[in-house]
Amino acid sequence: MEAGDSVLSLNLTMSKFYPSLTPMKRNEAALLREHGINPSAQRVAVAQHVLHTGEHPSADEVWKRVRERFPQISRATVYNTLNLFVDKGLLRRFVLVEGRVVFDPRVENHHHFLDEESGMLHDLPWDALEVSGVTQLKGFDVREFQVVLRGKKA
Ligand SMILES: [Zn+2]
């Protein structure tokens, strides 16, 4: 296999992975192990609630959902697990507005639209918008960027 082939196959794997985030069941324990995470029952429960959602839940929202099946799970455990998932590249942490941190299972680049009436955050494909000049900003070394549009859904 040539060096270029492995890059291509990686891209194909990622694009296959993406649609599976929605309704298809994956083996969360295996997924956690692949990312170097020891899959305890509580971590698997958190993964089931956060890695397959099309939403952008806050830590408290995840905690509330996981508690329905694991009534004894603590808030701290859920917070720590979410942060671990972020560190391992399974989730992105995203400060939506001041004081509201949400978690995003789509780790590839995309933009967001915040519906100010419902508070819902919608994903927008990366190529739906064109942003220019990011790399030419003087004095700033940009690591990543994304656009948050605000308004109401028509
Ligand atoms: Zn998103």
Concatenated DSSP letters for 57-87?
A: -BHHHHHHHHHHH-TT--HHHHHHHHHHHHH
Q: Do residue 43 and residue 91 come from a single domain?
A: yes
Q: Which comes out higher in pLDDT, residue 36 or 14?
A: 36
Average pLDDT over residues 2-24: 39
Please give the distance, rounded to the nearest whole angstrom, from the Cα atom of residue 3 to the centre of ligand 1: 31
CB atoms within 10 A of CB 5: 9
Q: Is 90 exposed, middle or buried (0-12, 13-18, 19+ CB in 10 A)?
A: buried
- Residue 25: how many CA atoms within 13 Å on its side-chain side? 3
pLDDT score of 26:
60
Q: Do residue 97 and residue 70 come from a single domain?
A: yes
Categorize the per-residue pLDDT at 1 as very low, low, confident or very high, splitting at 50, 70 and 90: very low
Q: Do residue 116 and residue 87 come from a single domain?
A: no
Long-range Cβ contacts of 86-95 (<8 Å, 24+ apart): 88/35, 88/36, 88/37, 89/35, 90/31, 90/32, 90/35, 90/37, 90/47, 90/51, 91/50, 91/51, 94/56
* Residues lying with their CB under 5 A of ligand 1, a single-atom ion: 104, 106, 123
Average pLDDT, the chain: 82
Q: Do residue 116 and residue 138 come from a single domain?
A: yes
pLDDT score of 45:
93
pLDDT per position as a tens digit, 16-73: 344 444 334 468 999 999 999 999 999 999 999 999 888 899 999 999 999 998 999 9
Q: Do residue 93 and residue 116 come from a single domain?
A: no
Q: Are 112 and 146 in contact (CB under 8 A)?
A: yes
Average pLDDT over residues 77-96: 93
Whether 9 has a pLDDT exceeding 60, the answer reads no
How many domains does the chain fold into? Answer: 2
User: For a pLDDT cut of 70, what percent of the chain falls above it?
Assistant: 82
- Domain containing 18: what range? 3-103
Please give the distance, rounded to the nearest whole angstrom, from the Cα atom of residue 5 to the centre of ligand 1: 29
Q: Do residue 77 and residue 35 come from a single domain?
A: yes
pLDDT per position as a tens digit, 101-133: 999 999 899 999 999 888 888 999 999 999 998
Q: Do residue 99 and residue 23 come from a single domain?
A: yes
Q: Do residue 42 and residue 114 come from a single domain?
A: no
Whether 91 has a pLDDT exceeding 90, the answer reads yes
Q: Do residue 146 and residue 88 come from a single domain?
A: no
End residue of a domain, out of 103, 122, 139: 103
Q: Which comes out higher in pLDDT, residue 7 or 100?
A: 100
Please give the distance, rounded to the nearest whole angstrom, from the Cα atom of residue 48 to the centre of ligand 1: 17
